[in-house]
Amino acid sequence: MTEPYDHPTLELFQELLEEPSPSGFEDQIAALIMDKLESWGYEPVTDAAGNVFVMFDGQPEAPLVCYAAHMDEIGFMVNRIEADGRLRAIRHGGLMPWKAGEGPVEILTDRGERLMGVLSFGSTHGPSQTPTWESASIMTGLTPEELNEKGVRPGSPGVLARHVCQPVILGSNDDPLVGAWTFDDRLGCATLLRALKRLKDDGNDPLCPTIVAFTTREEVGGYGARYLASLHMPDIFIAVDGAPMTAETDLKLDGRPVAWAKDQLGPYDGQLIVDLIEIGRDLEIGVQTATYGSNASDASMAMTAGGVGRIACFGHPRENSHGFEVTRLSVFDNMLEILLTFMTRWDGRDAD
């Protein structure tokens, strides 16, 4: 990434991006988040699902609010080792091979190491083919016996190599675009971390009883959020996640964050959306809204499991979802300011 963009959220995002975290294998990024929270004076908790969270008491009789960003990323999983040592894989989460393309990947081994490989689709000097996981292989240069010694087996997860995921800055210096291999959802994690740091630095607490959570396994069914919600039964669950710029939306790639209005699992709470829009208006930022027919979030998945009462999903607009995503740098601070204002001023007046 080029200077002078030493932006605090971007710096946090880059640090989080260095830790591979395919769904169900979030231990390394969870440890990094725990370390940061403890260094700021928090006492974070980890539950049986691997979620990391901090809790605030808030005002008596106010509703319990959970803010959540998921730690996991899309990836692949080894499902077969060929006689020549090539690995065959299936997707793990929403990773499409044509989004990844040929290039370096990392396989997480049972020994706690990262094994470098190259995602391969064969030569173009022959019949053309559509890139699918069935037509893909991963070359590591090792034999099946050597792979076994390294701790690679069917079920070993993998992700794109960390060095090809790093952010790039595009366009005008006034308000550039930022591209990176999926902001989903390390940008949400970075935003919640910055919010917690600001609360601590300013000596503030949320008005409502609050859980700020970093969840697991969102990309494969929202299991971390479902588990968290089943234990704590929050009245309100707000997922902090990106908003894909699909053909069904009218989103603009500008500095305005997005509140989801509907996804494939149902509608989001209308009053929460209005409250977020009003805070955005008061801060002279603005909030966009979007409806989806195929997406889902930690919030909607937790609601369908019966663990929450009202839901929202709030975050940055992103182009090229589940690929090399692009968003606007100014949305980083705008998301943060709206969320902090909601946390410290919203008292649950519209909650049942």
pLDDT in tens, 208-222: 999 999 999 999 999
> Over the stretch 224-283, which tens digit does the pLDDT of each residue have?
999 999 999 999 999 999 999 999 999 999 999 999 999 999 999 999 999 999 999 999
DSSP 183-197: -TTHHHHHHHHHHHH
Q: Is the pLDDT of residue 163 over 80?
A: yes
Contacts 24+ apart (CB under 8 A), 333-336: 333/9, 334/255, 334/256, 334/257, 334/280, 334/283, 334/285, 335/191, 335/240, 335/257, 336/9, 336/191, 336/194, 336/195, 336/198
> What token pair was written down for 90?
């299936």
Q: How far is CA 121 from CA 106, 208, 279, 345, in A?
A: 17, 52, 49, 53
- The CATH-assigned architecture of domain 75-163 is Beta Barrel (2.40)
Class of domain 8-73+182-345: alpha beta
175 compared with 126, residue with greater pLDDT = 175
Q: In what order do the strands lie in the sheet with 177-181?
A: 168-170, 177-181, 324-328
Tell how far CA 148 is from the center of its chain.
31
- Going by pLDDT thresholds of 50, 70 and 90, the confidence category of residue 307 is confident
Question: Which pLDDT value is given to residue 5?
Answer: 63
- Looking up tokens 């605030």, which residue turns up? 56
Range(s) within the chain of domains with CATH label 2.40.30.40: 75-163
Question: Which pLDDT value is given to residue 124?
Answer: 77
> What token pair was written down for 258?
């997005």
Question: Which pLDDT value is given to residue 1?
Answer: 46
Question: Which pLDDT value is given to residue 6?
Answer: 79
Average pLDDT estimate for 317-323: 95
Contacts 24+ apart (CB under 8 A), 24-27: 24/72, 24/157, 24/216, 24/217, 24/220, 25/72, 25/108, 25/157, 26/50, 26/71, 26/72, 26/216, 26/217
- Separation between Cα atoms, residue 160 and residue 17, nearest integer Å: 11
Q: What is the pTM of this model?
A: 0.95
> Over the stretch 61-104, which tens digit does the pLDDT of each residue have?
999 999 999 999 999 999 999 999 999 999 999 999 999 999 99
Average pLDDT estimate for 173-197: 96
Q: Is the pLDDT of residue 3 over 60?
A: no
Q: Is the pLDDT of residue 332 over 60?
A: yes
Strand partners, 116: 106
To the nearest whole percent, how much of the chain has pLDDT over 70?
A: 97
Question: Which pLDDT value is given to residue 113?
Answer: 95
Q: How far is CA 129 from CA 124, 167, 227, in A?
A: 9, 30, 41
Q: How far is CA 274 from CA 224, 279, 297, in A?
A: 28, 9, 19
Torsion of CA 236, 260, 223, 155, to 10 degrees: -160
Q: How many CA atoms lie within 13 A of 160 on its CB side?
A: 23
Range(s) within the chain of domains with CATH label 3.40.630.10: 8-73+182-345
Average pLDDT estimate for 156-173: 94
Question: Which pLDDT value is given to residue 141?
Answer: 96
Strands 87-92 and 103-108: unpaired
- Separation between Cα atoms, residue 313 and residue 232, nearest integer Å: 19
Question: Which pLDDT value is given to residue 285?
Answer: 96
Q: Is the pLDDT of residue 352 over 50?
A: no
First vs last Cα of the chain: how many Å apart?
Answer: 47
- Separation between Cα atoms, residue 40 and residue 29, nearest integer Å: 17
- Going by pLDDT thresholds of 50, 70 and 90, the confidence category of residue 351 is very low
- Separation between Cα atoms, residue 269 and residue 212, nearest integer Å: 19
